[in-house]
Structure 1
């Protein structure tokens, strides 16, 4: 059993695939368009960058300049993997401390599947810190599993598709968000919090109520 906050052990237990969801890319392109800037001038932070899953997409597909793409990660093993792929601006951070960036440093921040790994008592401070390093008018892309319906989808995947490992929830998910709870947290720091499609789930596609979404995904404006 992995300790809930042992992110070095988790780095060996869970490796990131390279799949990039089309729905996420649509939201990224919207954030780029709204910035009014060419991608070669946009500064982007991938908070909780993991093994560098999105780096090549930012650079090769969307045209960001590598020097303008930063990564922040709490696992030294994952940071080393990012460096090994050539991502020089991936940095090790203390998840409980301030970010090593000046105010208004970034135009876009990407935070995919990270907030659920942060203890609830640090959630507000983390979001406020991201807002601090985001320029006025900048955008945050954020996603997280939608509890408690997430556990129903896990059970469904196990019974219908034989994915029995889904019966045990991720041990490092220490904070469980619903649509209402995440909106409330984000609205403290951002003037606009707009839901975007991501991994919605078959129940939501039929009934269209936020409590049935498999994952939550918001585009937030500072």
Structure 2
């Protein structure tokens, strides 16, 4: 995939972000681990529910679900435009109930209507223009059950995220400045995403995360994770965390 600034997503090695989550520095491991825990919580999946992860990359988020737990999801599906990432995801996380599919950006999603309880879009929308984000909502409206949720995470540009973005660019080969073409912040995300999603969806809240918790991980993983989980998303109103997590509901 490319966009107008010329970044080629095929240059990202297969499984790169999964390796970072598993074996990277403590802060990066905590960043992804705590983010995925927050997203699973926001999904509020019923027992035996179905989740579609859009822009799943190497499959790390769906791979974080414990399929042996009571009430485990009946079906987890990840889709992405990058075939090499999908191959990695299936090899690493694929099971009878967890699968990954390569689907072109303009292709229709090959799923029945009203099939999924939730769709997750984790750090994807910042890579897209408004029309492309609207297309995702159009497809969500077809595959979601009534009152099904769309859970979105994206960087909060009214936080310390822009500083982190510059530090990451200096310390690694990853340049989020090139990749991120649409910027959201906690104060405008409801209006902007609501306008894009349209009347078929109702706003169901937003908060932020990653203000300080991941940065405590070098001291103690247990302490860092404890800080991250101490306050539930519904009760965390601080608007300056590095990531926004928002949820919309399909009216059906």
Please give the range of the TM-score, normalised by the shorter of the 2 chains. 0.7 to 0.9
Q: Does 1:120 align with 2:130?
A: yes
Looking at structure 2, the residues matched to 166 and 215 of structure 1 have their Cα atoms a distance apart, in angstroms, of: 21
Question: Which deviates further from its counterpart, 192-201 or 45-54?
Answer: 192-201
**2:14–2:88 contact (8 Å) kept in structure 1:** no
C-alpha displacement of 1:4: 4.0
Looking at structure 2, the residues matched to 196 and 177 of structure 1 have their Cα atoms a distance apart, in angstroms, of: 13
Q: Does 1:213 align with 2:248?
A: no
Distance 1:5 1:165, change over 3 A: closer
> How many residues are aligned here?
206
TM-score (norm 1): 0.75
Looking at structure 2, the residues matched to 30 and 178 of structure 1 have their Cα atoms a distance apart, in angstroms, of: 19
C-alpha displacement of 1:170: 4.2
Question: Which residue number corresponds to residue 10 of structure 1?
Answer: 12
C-alpha displacement of 1:64: 6.5
**2:156–2:186 contact (8 Å) kept in structure 1:** yes
C-alpha displacement of 1:201: 5.4
Deviations 1:126-148 (A, max 9, x none): 22322321111111221011226
Distance 1:27 1:116, change over 3 A: closer
Q: Does 1:151 align with 2:151?
A: no
**1:107–1:138 contact (8 Å) kept in structure 2:** yes
Query: Helix, strand or coil: the match of 1:141?
Result: strand
Looking at structure 2, the residues matched to 123 and 15 of structure 1 have their Cα atoms a distance apart, in angstroms, of: 22
Looking at structure 2, the residues matched to 110 and 64 of structure 1 have their Cα atoms a distance apart, in angstroms, of: 19
Which of residues 31, 34, 40 in structure 2 aligns to 1:22? 34
Looking at structure 1, the residues matched to 245 and 42 of structure 2 have their Cα atoms a distance apart, in angstroms, of: 14
**2:63–2:93 contact (8 Å) kept in structure 1:** no
Question: Which residue number corresponds to residue 178 of structure 2?
Answer: 171
Looking at structure 1, the residues matched to 210 and 92 of structure 2 have their Cα atoms a distance apart, in angstroms, of: 28
The correspondence of residues 1-150 of structure 1 with structure 2, limited to 5 A, is 4-12=6-14, 14-16=16-18, 17-18=21-22, 19=29, 20-22=32-34, 24-32=36-44, 37-38=46-47, 41-60=48-67, 68-87=75-94, 89-147=99-157, 149=159, 150=161
